Amino acid sequence: MIKGLKMCVGVVLLAAGCRSIGPDTVARDRFDYTTAISDSVKNQLLLNLVKLRYGDMPLFVDVSSVISQYSLENGIEYNFQWEYPPILRTPSVGGSNTFTDRPTITYTPLTGDKFSKSILTPIPPSAIFFLVQSGRSVDSVFFLCVQSINGIHNRYDAPMRSRPMDPDFIEVLTRLRRIQDSSRIGMRIQTVTNNQSTVMYFGDKVSPDIAGDIAWVKQKLGLDPQISEYKLVYGSMAQPGEIAILSRSVMEIMVQLASSIDIPPEDLQQNRAYAVTATQESLAERMRLRVRSGKAKPADAYMSIAYRDKWFWIDDTDLQSKQLFSGILMLLSLMESDKGANQPVLTVSTG
């Protein structure tokens, strides 16, 4: 004789395959990771500038890859009990929803040969003129990236080998800027027997004022006044028909920019950071990277970093410093020895 019978039935409905989550992640992840990587690159550069002023060794760490893996699991469970004689017990319904995000970020320190080529190697003169051709002002690019042009020297505020600016350097840059504004200075690539060279040229059909500026620049740089095209070379002194550019490395540019950081007076008095003599040149003042410092974290900053129990930052309203800082980041990209090797890559697995 059967006293009773008990049955338990479970039904599970899986809904994970009903809809792909891949497309929805693209808009969010692309911009989120772009913003995060961009902010980290800016903060890293600012930190390295401050460290240089304090005599510390800069270190660059690149984000070489970003891999984000997602999984989405949905489930519905329905249980009921049936007993004999027929009595239906109270059924139960349950559900589950699990979303998992597993980002994997790979960092690559910039050391050895890559550090030497990207940071310590002088910028090629052609790259400097490419910056000018891209729309940046010739005086600001030369003031930042060039140590001398045909033997006329820029100032340099390194702690171990500082030197003042030659009297004619600012005037050369000022006149080159006026020539650039009149669209009478340019650059082209010249190929002779499979050898490429960069040529800078001055345009013709100019106004008397611009003609005077061109004649003055040629005379001051020791250029042949009868020709208008000159080959760009790297070096201190030029041969006939050449313009010799002694360009700086990214490290030298960083050292020069670090000299304008607002260091707390007590750190200067205690010799924790090196002091720099103030300059009165208008262009030099205009090309200063204004990095502020203080005890508290700033409320409105373009970027800020903490170092030695102090905060250093660039004001978000300081457009000049922000543009100058962006130019340094562009130079770092130009000097990347292995193009594309260390570019951040976002790989999204939605399976």
pTM, rounded to two decimals = 0.74
Q: What is the mean pLDDT of the chain?
A: 80
Q: Is residue 12 part of a domain?
A: yes
CB 59 within 8 A of CB 47: no
Q: Are residues 234 and 156 in the same domain?
A: yes
In a domain, 57, yes or no: yes
Q: How many Å apart are CA 107 and CA 63, to the nearest integer?
A: 5
What per-residue confidence (pLDDT) applies to 90? 63
Which residue among 81, 109, 137 closes a domain? 109
Do 129 and 243 have their domain in common? yes
Let me know if residue 219 belongs to a domain: yes
Q: Are residues 47 and 100 in the same domain?
A: yes
In which domain, by residue range, is 29 found? 5-109
Q: What is the DSSP string of 27-94?
A: HHHHHHHHHHHHHHHHHHHHHHHHHHHTTPPP--EEEEEEEEEEEEEEEEEEEEEEEETTEEPPPEEE
Lowest mean pLDDT among 38-42, 107-111, 151-155: 107-111
Q: Which of 109, 138, 160 is the last residue of a domain?
A: 109
For residue 324, what pLDDT is reported? Answer: 85
Q: Look at residue 187 and tell me if it is in a domain.
A: yes
- Residue 280 has a pLDDT of 61
201 shares a domain with 98: no
Residue 323 is assigned to a structural domain of this protein: no
Model pLDDT for residues 223-278, shown as the tens digit of each residue: 999 988 999 889 888 888 899 999 999 899 999 889 889 999 999 999 999 888 77
Asked if residue 7 has pLDDT above 70, the reply is no
